[in-house]
Chain A
């Protein structure tokens, strides 16, 4: 219903010049004119920013005149003002010496690489035995640049692209092509521990902001020629590299096509993290439950790749996006797979239960104490009633107060410098709880309720998911305070309808439970690894099997089982 009523408003805002609707908008305050202005201004801005100068750089070919080229480039980079860009002119002592220049950005390019593998061969080694490979350009390209990646650039835009990405451009006089030599040397972290998805058993490597390293970490785990990495550039100003990673022959090609389509339509100035990409590609961006999984664990990515999912790696973000996913994946931790299946199943059950505890305990507390007091054992009931007698607020207010202050502690805990963080968190929680009880603001049982809720919301491995649990919790609190269990049941029903309607890249989020598909034994109960014969079916992968039919051939029991099956 809210959806229906909101739609016409939006169109009101856009058709500003429609005089009739002005009266409507007036009642709602200044919102609409403001919106309309921003839309118009944005269009203007876009026009401007896509054309920094009158002529597009890609229309300007590399000129044969080195001086001319350098002038254009200095102009494009606003050179004397812009101090990062370095232009070094020199002479290449070939058979017939030629004037040359290299352009790179200090800091983006690795100066050691520039010195040792661009300047040194060009200026010194070219002198040793003068060679000619059919023209200066060919000689330089084929003999004198011992770098691993060299590209040719025919117009100014390509030079700019190369240089802003940390490469070095070589310009030769009398040559209408430039050489872009790979010299990327961005500063960055080295591979380190995962920050958000820690495990006790399993690899401790995580992705980092470096694109290549992240991809390398995947390659390290999936060593096959069918691992595809397709590159995209996103953001016309940030020029961020994106890689779509998938296993050819395993993944359902429709999923790859869909993902490519969605990536192609991201037309923005900049992106800074995969979190932003997630919003662009999500099937339902307003959903509280994430429809794609972000992880910083290469082992997890490798596992998902093998099961026919696609992965997006972005330069500058330590989080990879996995899609399509199911809601069960949000409750899984890679550790589940590394431990004994019984233990794995146990931890998963705990997590699944804790999801419900995290969402509903305070609501349950309100519903029971306010609407269904018969459910509490009599002695406990009297104890609660006794502690409540000195508290001046209704239970709802009490719960909201406590939950709110807990949210404060949590939010503060994230901002507090890391050394102090945990201490202050604990101290805050303890002191607040204790003092609130002693000041008769809340009853002691409530502190238990809130503490359990808080703990259980932290057991959810996916951060986005655990954050949305906290919002859901408040919704359930309000519902419970209106009609008790009926309210909670209504909330659950609505949640069910919403979740069952969710799709991730077209795959229902609750698959393979609803809609029911043959299960691989990897939802809440985790079967032992050797029984994961077939791939999860819900993505319709091309490959059908994850392992041979008989993986424990030496084991008489499993051999008999297979015989019995077939």
Chain B
């Protein structure tokens, strides 16, 4: 049976990678966009949109449970034959590619606006792309290990920002408690559930995880942890800044870092957070590049995905320059990917699950096709 040559990781690695994928967006526009729509109840919007994402994730996991040890493309092949697999692979590949190019742009753009205003954007993008090329070239095992090594520092970085700005907290800022109103929150929540679209990555690498039976638990864990992180960051963000101001800031977490003022010594230290920021961005991009290449590999039956990396990263590099300015780039992320990404991320597994029900295939048989 055909396989793209990849490494094997433990489900722990999956957990960490999902955390990185999910949490990275907190450094970009997410907190601000949430306040924009949810007002002082931004945290509630996050929780509701997480609830909206639950069925999507459930469908994905249900599908994975029916076909243990197989990734989405293999499942599609079994259910819909070659064309199905081809299409699934292509969709996943382009989805990742598109996300990656937007994120490259956003991260580079924020570096430019905050610390290095005169450096050409291509240079900054080059550093991100260089890092992700190297990581994706080394394969899944290395990405998962690097994530495992760095994610404590990343989380520590995020929480240290929150802790160091805690002198600005004013709980009155969290009122009125319902923010923009229940109706608005419910209206925006389904679209915002695409904050969690990255979970689909679990379906893409399902075939490379050693302990298949604990995948659902790890996915739920990663989902829950990132929702908690989102909520906590959002609460701090709104409590530190009043809603009107919170609705206007780009790169909210970095703005919080700029606010740090703890006496004469601990201030103006936001540049240190560039590290957290770069690690998070580079890791996330690495995963996207990797999944784009691997999905393409599965779609075209290319057993070695490494040669695909360079062309794909060139594409990402080129695509990332399409948005004209920083505002368009952020709009692209917040209003297209984060609004309609859900359709792909939740729709694809659902379609496959429906196909499985119609064809009456799968059902958790423990046939061991992994060794072939």
Contact = CB atoms under 8 A, between A and B. Distances in A.
Task: Consider the complex of A and B and state whether they touch directly, i.e. have CB atoms less than 8 Å apart.
Answer: yes
Contact of A493 (B131, B144, B265): B131
B269 interface: yes
Contacts of A371: 115-116, 271
A494 B142 CA distance: 11
Interface string B252-286: 00000000000011001101101101110011000
B149 A497 contact: no
A8 to B, nearest CB: 14
A500 B278 contact: no
A484 B275 CA distance: 11
Contacts of B56: none
B9 interface: yes
A510 B145 contact: yes
B135 interface: yes
A497 B146 contact: yes
B95 interface: no
Nearest to A372: B271
B149 to A, nearest CB: 4
Given A375-B269, A494-B134, A515-B13, A486 B146 contact: no
Given A497-B134, A497-B142, A486 B127 contact: yes
A377 interface: yes
B357 to A, nearest CB: 37
Contacts of B178: none
B10 A516 contact: yes
Contacts of A516: 10, 12-13, 148
A487 interface: yes
B268 A483 contact: no
Nearest to B264: A377
Which of A483, A490, A496, A497 counts the most B-chain CB atoms under 10 A from its CB? A497
A500 B142 CA distance: 6
A490 B149 contact: no
Q: Which range holds the interface residue count of chain B? A: 35 or more
Interface in A482-507: 483-490, 492-494, 496-498, 500-501
B146 A514 contact: yes
Interface string B136-171: 001001101111111000000000000000000000
B271 A488 contact: no
A233 B119 CA distance: 58
Interface in B95-118: 111, 115-116
Contact of B310 (A1, A368, A487, A488): A1
Contacts of A490: 127, 130-131, 278, 282
Contact of A501 (B127, B133, B138): B138
Contacts of A494: 130-131, 134
B244 to A, nearest CB: 27
A145 B226 CA distance: 78
Contacts of B145: 500-501, 508, 510, 514-515
Contacts of B148: 513-516
Nearest to A490: B127
B1 interface: no
Nearest to B283: A493
A368 B274 CA distance: 12
Interface in A440-496: 483-490, 492-494, 496
Interface residues of A, number: 29
A374 interface: yes
A515 B107 CA distance: 28
A497 B131 contact: yes
A287 to B, nearest CB: 13
Nearest to B152: A513
A374 B268 contact: yes
B341 to A, nearest CB: 26
A496 B278 CA distance: 13
Contacts of B134: 494, 497-498
A375 B127 contact: no
B127 A377 contact: no
A551 to B, nearest CB: 30
Contacts of B127: 483, 486-487, 490
B123 interface: yes
A374 B271 contact: yes
A488 B144 CA distance: 22
B80 interface: no
Nearest to A3: B137
B133 to A, nearest CB: 7
Contacts of B272: 375, 485
A493 B265 CA distance: 28
A513 B12 CA distance: 12
A483 B118 CA distance: 11
Given A490-B127, A493-B278, A514 B138 contact: no
A386 B88 CA distance: 63
B231 interface: no
B19 to A, nearest CB: 13
Contacts of A377: 264-265
A1 B133 contact: yes
B124 interface: yes
Contact of B279 (A374, A493, A515): A493
A16 B50 CA distance: 64
A492 B275 contact: yes
B41 to A, nearest CB: 35
A508 B145 CA distance: 9
Interface of B: 9-10, 12-13, 111, 115-116, 119, 123-124, 127, 130-131, 133-135, 138, 141-142, 144-150, 264-265, 268-269, 271-272, 274-275, 277-279, 282-283, 310
Ordered nearest first, which 10 A-B pairs have the shortest CB separation? A489-B278, A514-B148, A500-B145, A514-B145, A372-B271, A514-B149, A485-B274, A374-B268, A493-B131, A501-B142
29 contacts: A372-B271, A374-B271, A375-B272, A377-B265, A483-B123, A485-B272, A486-B111, A489-B277, A490-B278, A493-B135, A493-B279, A493-B283, A496-B149, A496-B150, A496-B279, A497-B135, A497-B138, A498-B134, A500-B138, A500-B149, A501-B138, A501-B141, A501-B145, A508-B141, A514-B146, A515-B12, A515-B13, A516-B10, A516-B148
Given A371-B115, A485-B278, A500-B145, 10 more contacts: A1-B133, A372-B115, A372-B271, A483-B124, A493-B282, A500-B138, A500-B146, A501-B145, A514-B149, A515-B141
